Every structure is written in C-alpha cells, then in structure tokens.
Amino acid sequence: MDTILTVNGGSSSLKCGLYAVTNTDLQCLFHLKVENLLGDTTLFKVRDEQNRVLDSHELACQDVALDERHQRALQEVLQWVDEHLPESHLIATGHRVVHGGDLFSAPVLLDDDKLSQLHQFIPLAPLHQPYNLKLVEACRSLAPELPIVACFDTMFHSRQPRIERLYALPRNLVDKGVHRYGFHGLSYEYLQRQLSLAGAGNLKTVACHLGAGASMCAIAEGQSIASSMGFTAVEGLPMGSRTGNLDPGVLLYLMREENMDVDALEKLIYKESGWLGISTISSDMKTLHQADDPKAEEAIDMFCYRVALEMGRLTAALEGVEQVVFSGGVGENDADVRSRVLKRCGWLGIKLDEEANQRNSGIISAADSAVTVRVMPTNEELMIATHVDELLH
C-alpha cells in the first residue's frame, strides 16, 4: 500500500498524518501527534480518522538534547507506522513550511539548494520556520531515500495585487522583500477547494481561520486578494499570545523607555500578548469562556471586535461580500464568538440563524440573509498530502 506522511511541526509539537494513495483519492489512516516536545513529559498519541484513540504513551525524551527532540519524535512516528502497518510503503513526505518568501509560490521537491534558500526566511517566521526545517532535515536523515515535498503557508496568497502587498516603506526595502505575504494559505486553499465542490467557489468570500493563531482572507474567483496577516504571522488579529496589529511607535517607545531589546520585544509580541496579555489568564479561548473574570470577557470581546473590523476591510477589498466562512479551532467550535462577530456585521445584511449556529457546521445564516455564512472544518494535512500526490503523479 503506497502511503504519504504529512509533517507539520511547531516549536514544541509534531503533527503527522498518514494517507493511503488510492486510484481515486487519498484515505487518511492515522493522525499521529507528539506533544510537549521541549518539556519534561512528552506524549505520543495516535488517532484514527474517526478520532478514536489507538495509542497514547509517554515518549522518553529527557536524555535527548533539545535541538534533537524533533528528530526523536519523527523517528517514533516512523517506527509506529512500521510496526502497526507493515504493509505501508512510504513514497514521500509532505512538509508544512510556513514561509516561502518571494521564491516559492507552489509546492516543490526539496534539495540542498532549496533548503538553503528556505533557511533565509527564518527571520520572517522565527516561531515556525526553524522547526519546519528541522523536521525536513530529520526526515532526510531518517529516510534519505524518500522525496520531500514542501508546501508553503504563503503560496495561496502569492498572486495578491501589489497594492495589497505594499507597505508604505522606501522602495529599496520593498524590493528586498519587506512587504505583506499572508499566511494560513494551506487552510484557505483547502476551504476554497471544498467551496468549489459545493458550487460556491466563485462567490466573493471572507474566510476566517480563527484559533490561537488567527487570520482572515478575502477570496475572489478562487484567488486570495487580501489577508489580515502580512510580513509575519504576528500582524492582523489579536491571537492567543500574539499582539496582532500594533502601532510600530509602541515598539520604539518600549525600546527607549523600558530598555527592551529585540529578544524581549520578540517575546512580548509573540508569546506574552493577545488574549493572554489582555486577560492575564490564558491564551486558550475555551479557558477564557469558563473564567469568571471581567478581564477574560474583555479579551474575548476585543477579539470579536477586531474580527468584525477586519471583515469590513476585506469586504472593501472585495468590493462587496457574498459569503463568510468560519474555520479553525475557534471558528469551527465557538458559537458565541461567531455570534458576537456577526452581530457587529449586520450592516452587511448578515442575519444569523442562532439555532443553526449552535450546531457548529454547515450554513448558519438565516434564509433571508444577504450573505451566506458557513462553518467548515479545515484540513491542512489533507491539503499537503494532496499537493504531494499531485506533484509526484
């Protein structure tokens, strides 16, 4: 049985999916996840496509150097597949790579030169790119015979109009690549393909990928034309622990008055702000809902307000909106957040069916709504596997 392994790594986690390649489609066999890679207790979990737990155990990593733990996690994944599905014949791995810069606007087979080029983009995505590439290198070490396909979070946005991508900076900086890129592209590409299958792929759409990492995207005729994230994945909406949009003068102020250096500022804007910073409680939306604290309520309301504001900007980019899609962990599962956002968007003619909204799936707009509103699960891993299959065949 030919299979493809998708690899999606963060700073302290690894998510993999094993897909069987058939004559007609790709079938997900297992979801494999390693959590808390940099902590004292590392967990390895395997679920099937119905989300049933097939295995859950601790992974001994305490004696492994921190910079080698991603390779240890990937080794465990490959060993588990080999032991539990010996008929599996891996034909390739597909890797989520956050930043492709201006060089990569489509999936590519990686070689030494391309890998070297991708290392140049680490300063643009310091929380993700190093670990994405570390897993590529681990795969090359553990299974050197396998083709490795890189799929980029930026590639869906690569054809945005230049006017959307420009910052009002000197042209010499723009020419060096200091401009807007956009992220979560694999998620938006998957949603767009699903909308096309549903006969709604040509509508003017605002897609909302809402989670601890959150962004929004304006899609016209199947193409990204504007997005909330820009040069890095910290721009746009306030997120679990990221600031979102911030007056750059604030950073200058903090450098001068609080003596904060670049490392302190990076930690502030990526790890200490957002919902966590405002609530002082958590970067997890579910935890904030459960907290009996006005600061948690303020963090939730601020997030919903900013989503509604971005809806207006993206609607302007589209010159009108016909469809809104909610996805991501919060977007798919949090009826309260969706309701708060859409109540602020009544001026667009959006009317919410509150009963449908509670079901967390399908069309949730009222029959007389001027804009169709949907809740759709995203699947970045399947999108990666699809790209690998298309590229190889």
Question: Which residues are identified as catalytic?
Answer: 153
Compute the Cα dihedral for 312, 313, 314, 319 and give only its sign.
positive
Q: Check: CB of residue 320 under 8 Å from CB of residue 326.
A: no
Q: Say if residues 317 and 227 touch (Cβ distance below 8 Å).
A: no
User: Contact at 8 Å (CB) between 257 and 249?
Assistant: no
What's CA 316's distance to the chain center, in Å? 24
Q: Which residues make beta-bridge pairs with 327?
A: 209
| Distance, CA of 179 to CA of 187 (rounded, Å) | 21
Among 231, 244, 218, 136, which residue's Cα sits nearest to residue 183?
A: 231
- Are residues 155 and 185 in contact, defined by beta-carbon separation less than 8 angstroms? yes
Phi, psi of 253, deg, nearest 5: -60, -45
> Which strand (E) or helix (H) includes residue 75?
helix 69-84
Give DSSP secondary structure letters for 8-37. EE-SS-EEEEEEEE-SS-EEEEEEEEEE-T
